[in-house]
Chains A and B, each alone.
Chain A
Amino acid sequence: MELNLSPEYEAFRQDVNRILTENAHLAPGPEDRGMKHPKRLAWQKFLIENGLTARTIPKEYGGYGAEPDLLKSRIIAEEFARTGIARPMGGQGISMLVPTLLELGTPEQKEAYIRPTLHGEMIWCQGYSEPGAGSDLAALRTAAVEDGDDFIINGQKIWTSTAKQADMIFCLVRTDPDAKKHHGISYVLFSMDTPGIEVRPLVDMTENANFNEVFFTDVRVPQSGIVFEKNKGWQVANATLTHERGMLGDPNATKARFLELVELMKTETLNGERLIDNPLLRDRLMKLQGEVYAMQANGLRVTTASLKRESAGLAGLIVKLQGCELNHQIAGLAIDALGELGILYGEGDHLRADGSWQWRYMYDLGLIIGGGTAQIQKNIISERGLGMPREPKPAKV
């Protein structure tokens, strides 16, 4: 056990902190809406140039090109959490597709997509789920039929986040209808401008239309968009999902929210008393703090395992389930602490924090469901983590 950082890393931490705090005025705020808002693009560029995001991605692909150093990545994440300064862009392109391409993409794919994606100029959506294929993703039916060098795609995706804004899609399609469920799937990249694609926004409970239905009618796309190999899309998708689950349970993001909650409870008053002086609310706050500490310590364990190239075992498998649940509870306490005013939303005089706690409370519930539901996570934990038997397949009737 050695959690103290060497002087080299301490110096690095101070550098990161200095760069962030000295340039905080450049960071976009909630008022700078729109994924491609110039302020957002400029901030992203600044962060990449200073090695604060896309840090280990080779320069030739538009990254910063540093040697992989998990500790430095960790320090950067911690400093964003500590200072509360706008984090780098995330999203499915950056968090899921880029690592997948780095691992499995062709040189042309890497060349064409990674740089603009990292810089926020190319937005991606993830076309996995279908009306009949959610948790049982391998049941997907959207069909891609070969036609010369192209595929002709027909079918429908659903819950596709940011499809409306997306320039490109990474999409799972069935390329061999006769093969077994997991074997006939391919992972294909194509432009959302291709004729025959129709995007219909779906409004979610936060009143935003972040996810969509996407319909494909005779959509002609080049076969060169296949990542890795034809009919091997399931392996590729699993690689991406691992990246997604890591992103969804990030303990540093949770810590940042917890600190915001503490701030809220210290500054907001009710009947002339600070919220934090209410013993019942304070007790709930302390309960959550214990869990935040636990998830952070667990994160350190996972990092150590990666540093040693070992599997983190259960410590890794539980991150999505526990992390998303904890985020949801933090938002829940903020709302309870605000009491009646906690229900305000949208705009208005008495609204606190732009209504973001209600938004988070709802959105975090979406994240408990998305990227593999809580129940699916528990299947994975019990089967892969505890070695319990899989559900027996129902007998065919």
Chain B
Amino acid sequence: MEFALSEDQRMLQDSISGFLKDNASLDTIRKIADGDAEAKAGLDAGLAEMGIMGLHVPEMMGGSGLGLLEACLVQEALGYTVAPSGFLAATVAADLLPNYQEDYPRGIADGEMVFGLALTELSSRRDGAGVTVDNGRLTGTSLLADVPDGATHVLLADTSGSFHVADSWSAEPMRTIDRTRTFQQLTFDGTMAETSTQPDASALAAARLLIAADTLGAAQAMLDKAVEYAKERKQFGRVIGSFQAVKHLCAEMAAKLEPARALVWHAAYAMDTKDPEALVMANLAKAHLAEVGTFVAKTATEVHGGMGFTDLLGLHYWFKRIGVNRQLFGSPEQVRQTAAELQGFVAA
């Protein structure tokens, strides 16, 4: 037994973190948040060049054939730098579609195809949203779809829980607290579904797990920043990090984050090895990271005092990343409900 990352996995972590450190600095993130299309395109191109989009695509379809564990490491690094990316959508598509239609995973791996993800209605339907299928034609809207720039396809869930691939839609941007990422309302107006799948609980679980990894990264960054700040900032003639009240806030963040990291890894490994508890773990990882992330986001901001509240420091990008992730693909309560259903804890 070994519960640790392999040499290769650590190298993957290092290379993606190294790239993001140089190419997704706070400066760049700010530009992207302010709508600088060039900055965004630069980051997208750099990430694509690293070959991560095809990370989870099977080797025989031109990808790297790596698991959700490796995908979670990449997503964690993206969260750490609050870098927007189509990686999550590509990975969920690469997880689901190989069983149905090889062209998509191939397209993702060779960069010809960029996928968006419209899963919101699997957890929440309101304001008339929801896509229905009639004779293979898709009709309806989906809210808060995660559609990267230049998307060629969307993977969407219909109201019965089946997934479809579409290559045309109309989109309206939806403004959220997080201006680094774009979310859209998609409308399908009798579009022909290119490919359709059975309902599949594991695709949603994979998306939720990846979001958990993203929050893990963002929260770890906030803890690191808080500890670093506390070791420098002086008040009452001493660094604030020597005040026990501040130390204990940091210790509480670390004490919650450490096991949360182990949980994300374990859940990802369970998904990769088709462990019978995998879906439960992945859903609980999402819900748990939502709670831990929210705690860290608030606490790390407090450690920074007034500076934490400013735009100047930019800490709020991490706060908002975590805030969006908490609700995306289901609020903690909804996700825990899924975990309970999976275990037969909900009366039929």
**A residues within 8 Å of B by Cβ?**
1-5, 9, 71, 74, 266, 274, 276-277, 279, 282-283, 285-287, 289-291, 293-298, 300-301, 303-305, 307-308, 314-315, 318, 321-322, 375, 377-379, 381-383, 385-392
Across the interface, do A389 and B239 meet the contact criterion of CB distance under 8 Å?
yes
Across the interface, do B340 and A3 meet the contact criterion of CB distance under 8 Å?
no
List 16 contacting pairs A-B, 8 Å CB cutoff, sorted by A: A277-B347, A283-B336, A283-B337, A290-B285, A290-B287, A291-B259, A293-B281, A294-B262, A300-B1, A300-B3, A307-B2, A315-B262, A318-B259, A382-B248, A389-B242, A390-B242
| Total contacts A-B at CB 8 Å | 166
Q: Once bound together, how far apart are the Cα atoms of A300 and B9, in whole Å? A: 18
**B339 near A: Cβ within 8 Å?**
yes
Q: Once bound together, how far apart are the Cα atoms of A345 and B3, in whole Å? A: 42
Interface range for B: 35 or more
A1-B69, A286-B339, A314-B254 are contacts. A379–B244 as well, Cβ < 8 Å?
A: yes
Residues of A within 8 A of B3 (CB): 1, 3, 297, 300-301, 303-304
Residues of B within 8 A of A5 (CB): 1
1/0 contact string of B140-184 vs chain A (CB within 8 Å): 000000000000000000000000000000000000000000000
Q: Once bound together, how far apart are the Cα atoms of A307 and B2, in whole Å? A: 9
**B residues within 8 Å of A by Cβ?**
1-6, 9, 69, 227, 230-231, 238-239, 241-242, 244, 247-248, 250-252, 254-256, 258-260, 262-263, 265-267, 269, 273, 280-281, 284-285, 287-288, 291, 332-333, 336-337, 339-340, 345-347
One of B2, B250, B259, B266 near A382 (C-beta < 8 A):
B250
Q: Once bound together, how far apart are the Cα atoms of A62 and B40, in whole Å? A: 68
Across the interface, do A1 and B288 meet the contact criterion of CB distance under 8 Å?
no
Residues of B within 8 A of A303 (CB): 1, 3
Residues of A within 8 A of B6 (CB): 1
Across the interface, do B263 and A3 meet the contact criterion of CB distance under 8 Å?
no
Given A296-B266, A387-B227, 7 more contacts at CB 8 Å? A276-B345, A282-B346, A287-B332, A290-B339, A318-B254, A381-B255, A388-B241
Across the interface, do A2 and B288 meet the contact criterion of CB distance under 8 Å?
no
A294-B260, A390-B242 are contacts. A378–B247 as well, Cβ < 8 Å?
A: yes
Residues of A within 8 A of B260 (CB): 294
Across the interface, do A304 and B262 meet the contact criterion of CB distance under 8 Å?
no
Across the interface, do B284 and A277 meet the contact criterion of CB distance under 8 Å?
no
Across the interface, do B242 and A287 meet the contact criterion of CB distance under 8 Å?
no
